[in-house]
Each structure stands twice: as C-alpha cells, then as structure tokens.
Amino acid sequence: MSAFLGPIHHWLYHKIQLQEELVGDILDLAVRSGWVLPSIEGLDPTAPSTLPPLESSVDLDNIHGWLQDQITLSETRYARLVTELLKADPARRSALEELACSFGKRHAVPAGTSVEGAYQVFQDSLLDGMPCDRVNQITEQGEHSLSWRRAQCLHSVFWDQAGGDAGVYDVLREHIIAGMLAGSGLEFQTSEDGIFTLREG
C-alpha cells in the first residue's frame, strides 16, 4: 500500500466518521433517557464522537490495515452498544429506530436527486467494509429505478460476537435510508430475495 493518502482513503474514512457519529447519537440518547450505559471499550459518553482528521491519525506505513482496524472498531462498538441497550430493555428499539431516521434526515439526499445519484449517496455514506469487498452490486438500472444486491453481509459477524441480532442492524439501516430519502421524492424497497430497489415515487 502506498504511503500517500488518496481520495479513496478519505472517502472510506468519511463513512467511518459517519458511523461513529451515529454511535455518538445513540450514546447521547442513552444519557438523555437515563439508560444505564454498558461498559464497552472505546465508548465514552463524555468524549466527542467526531473522529480526528485522517491525516493526523492514520498509519502511513499501513494505510489499508489501519483503515480496516478502524472499521472493525467502529462496527464492534456499534453492535455491542445497540445489543446491550436492547438486552436491558427491548422496548428501546422504537427510540433507536426513530433516532436512526433522524440521523438519516441530517444526511439527506437532496430533492431532485436521480436514483443513480441517491445510490451514490448511500455508497458515500453507509459503511460496508473496504472498497475491495465490493459488497453492493447493481443488478438492474433504468431511467427511473435502480436495483442492487448485497453480495455479502460484513456486519453480521460483529453482531454475532456481541450476542445480538444482525437483523436489528438491517432494520436500523432501513430507518437511516428512510430518513435520507425523506423529501427526495424517491422510494426504497427491499425484496425477500435480498434485492434493494430505489425508484422515483
């Protein structure tokens, strides 16, 4: 791996930053709601959730490995935090879903964006491993709709390790997407065969 930072490194780090922002929002909700926070390494409700600039923290001798480690840390924190909060009280799920939707609205797809543009916003925002993992694969593309499938789920291992349910991850992700699309005029659908579709409303 080159010792020089390129656009793809900043692109990936931005997605890690967004997920850490979401984790910070969940911590804020827990504190405001008086929920007892689980003891999880790397989670401090009093610390800012914003990650430092990439240039000031990355290991330039191992950029790829360092970014992979950051993904693992973020995915682990997210899975463990949500899992432990729901184990303490499953009724909290509705509040987490509402928070996920609000998070999506804060990072909304602009009105008038095409289905291709909205798909790219998802690619630029939602963390799905490293670029080389090629998780999302377009299956059909037309003027008014675009469909893709998830070739592999890189999140379930973290939820399994946390003793949780990766299905909760999927539900929260769908609420994030719903928030991102609010006001965009676009619709998001999922099918039983694992195909996701964006279409004009």
Give me the pLDDT at residue 1, please.
39
Q: Whose CA is closest to 103, among 165, 17, 42? A: 17
Confidence of residue 49 (pLDDT cuts 50, 70, 90): low
How many helical (H) and strand (E) elements, i.e. helices and strands, does the chain have? 6, 4
**Which residues, other chains included, contact 199 with Cβ-Cβ below 8 Å and sequence gap of 6+?**
115, 144, 145, 146, 186, 187, 189
Q: Alpha helices of 34-165 — where are they, by DSSP H?
A: 63-88, 93-106, 115-125, 156-161
Record the pTM.
Answer: 0.91
- Reported as a single tens digit per residue, the pLDDT across 110-143 is 999 999 999 999 999 999 988 887 889 999 999 8
Mean of the pLDDT values across residues 178-192?
93
Q: What is the pLDDT of residue 103?
A: 98
Residue 168: CB atoms within 10 A of its CB come to: 17
Confidence of residue 151 (pLDDT cuts 50, 70, 90): confident
Can you give the pLDDT at residue 48? 55
